[in-house]
Amino acid sequence: MEFQRIDRRSWPRDACFNHYFHAVPCTYSMTVKLDITPIR
């Protein structure tokens, strides 16, 4: 897959992108069990 640069000045979805990029920041988090017994 090749990356394609988007010209945001002419992109029809730029208003939607700006809304979600600035007003609704997305984050990811994860909870895992981590056994550190061998390190101690």
Assigned domain for 5 exists: no
Q: Which residues of 12-24 are buried (b: 16+ CB within 10 A; e: fewer)?
A: eeeeeeeeeeeee
Predicted local distance difference test score (pLDDT) of residue 9: 93
Predicted local distance difference test score (pLDDT) of residue 28: 85
Predicted local distance difference test score (pLDDT) of residue 32: 94
Q: How many domains does the chain have?
A: 1
Assigned domain for 21 exists: yes
Assigned domain for 19 exists: yes
SS3 content of the chain, % helix, strand, coil (to 5): 30, 0, 70
Q: Which domain holds residue 24?
A: 10-40
Predicted local distance difference test score (pLDDT) of residue 26: 79
Predicted local distance difference test score (pLDDT) of residue 24: 87
Predicted local distance difference test score (pLDDT) of residue 8: 92
Per residue in 1-40, pLDDT tens?
Answer: 899 999 999 999 999 999 988 998 778 899 999 999 988 7
pTM of the model as a whole: 0.48
